[in-house]
Amino acid sequence: MEHTKESIHQIVLNQREFFLSGQTLSVKFRKEQLKKLKKAIIDNQQQIIDALHIDLGRCEVESYFCDIGDVVMEINEYLHGLSKWSKPETHFSGLACFPSIFTKVYKMPYGVSLIISPFNFPVLLSVGVLAASIAGGNTAIIKASSKSAATTAALVDIISKTFPEEYITVIDGGHNIADFCLEERVDKIFYTGSPNVAKHVMEMASKNLTPVALELGGETGNWCVIRKDANLKDAARKIAFFKIMNAGQVCININQVAVAEEVADQFIEELKQAFIKQIGEKGYQNEEYPKLITQRAYQNIANEAEQYRDRIVFGGEGDINTSKYSPTIIYPVDINENIVQHEIFGPLLPVVKYKDDEIDKLLKVIANREHGLALYLFTKNKKCAKRVMQSQQYGGGCVNEVCLHLMVKGVPFNGVGHSGMGAYHGVWGFREFTHPSTVLYGHTKMNLSLREHPYTKKKKNLLSKFLK
């Protein structure tokens, strides 16, 4: 269906009417919808796998690992915890409120939610967010990416067969359609994408004072710091795996590596061997290696690689016909060069050298740039690891590991500054799609008159003593 401004407006009106009917307030109803969503994903997983292969060149295992399996795990977490999370909290009101001593905090849904999802993980970052919206008791409009057209078409088909449009719907189309959605008065916006577009989303949301959650890649990218005491073979193996994943089109992927100069050359050799072992010397020829989303994206990566041709020590090849560009190590790179001051979102990996005993100087440079969505540190020094991870500003991260913090139950996934605001996954997603409403239950007897006029000297003295 080709959407228009008018058709989107009608969808919002219909969803608001459905929300106001009160059906989504029931926890039982929400759980039933989550079970439907889970079944729809499992029953149609082959359709999703085929679509992801068309859009991103993903093999079946990577599609399941990165999108389908993660979504199922996410839904399971909401099913397991929703009854507990949604219970109203009871608080003692305090003697100042006597005799009205009990107060409740209700976790209320916002209403109509708008989820704007990207192309790189088109199922996880749409359906995964949808699960949080359903758990919170909202209706949902998903504006899926036009770049991942096959997956968006699959989502339109799957969601339309599973839910009525007035409850949940998927909208396809380009930037103009996204703007039509943003012009509507919805009650919650969740956007995943780039910082530049996020500014536009916030500007549009401000016109209706709509609360916004943003999950962004980070303007200057995510750093990986390798100290001289690190297990270099282990670090190289994990970094190679991560850079291969989705051809580097991952918001929490390593954008640049800073490695202690004492072990830099050794690390580079280990990293080369790790890439070769996992996908071969010419990665772009490997059938399991994903592709870049468009030929334009391919050309951008190829053009940037060409600027550093004299320092490419591995990779630097591709095929524009398949939109595959090999993982590419660029070494050495100065910390102030352009390639380490923006998000690459592709398979290029610039490597910066630093002196291990000057790590604080390195961290200061990183801290003075825009905050990343992730930070990775490889070291055997637990004291150093604790100090670094507790002093830097970033969304989330790992010590001696990559990306797996995304899969841990019960913890938030979020950014800070130019890498986002708000958080989700599990209980954090439930909180993101609900707002706490405080209600004091008053008594009609034994009410004190101290707060009422006239304010006599006796009342003033009693209040003064009471408040002290």
Catalytic residues: 215, 251
Let me know if 382 is exposed, middle or buried by CB neighbors in 10 A (0-12, 13-18, 19+): exposed
Map residue 257 onto helix, strand or coil. Answer: strand
Taking a C-beta distance cutoff of 8 angstroms, is the pair 328, 312 a contact?
yes
Preceding amide of 164 cis, omega within 30: no
Which has the closest alpha carbon to 121: 71, 196, 79, 162?
71
> How is residue 190 written in tokens?
């969740």
> How is residue 211 written in tokens?
């609360």
Which has the closest alpha carbon to 188: 132, 146, 148, 120?
132
Which has the closest alpha carbon to 182: 452, 248, 173?
173
- Name the maximum alpha-carbon separation found in the chain: 88
- For helices 27-43 and 149-162, angle between their N-to-C axes, nearest 10 degrees: 130
The pairing of strands 328-330 and 318-319 is unpaired
> How is residue 87 written in tokens?
């219970």
Tell me which H or E stretch contains 385.
helix 382-389
Which has the closest alpha carbon to 314: 357, 280, 287?
280
Q: State how far the Cα of 293 lies from the Cα of 296, in Å rounded to an integer.
A: 8
Cβ contacts of residue 285 below 8 Å, gap of 6+?
319, 324
The pairing of strands 256-260 and 223-226 is parallel
**Residue 36 CB neighbour total at 10 angstroms:** 14
Taking a C-beta distance cutoff of 8 angstroms, is the pair 164, 111 a contact?
no
Q: What amino acid is encoded at 135 in this protein?
A: A
Taking a C-beta distance cutoff of 8 angstroms, is the pair 72, 41 a contact?
yes
Map residue 269 onto helix, strand or coil. Answer: helix
> How is residue 247 written in tokens?
């051809």
- Residue identified by tokens 């003295």 is 461
Which has the closest alpha carbon to 142: 282, 15, 318?
15
Q: What amino acid is encoded at 132 in this protein?
A: A
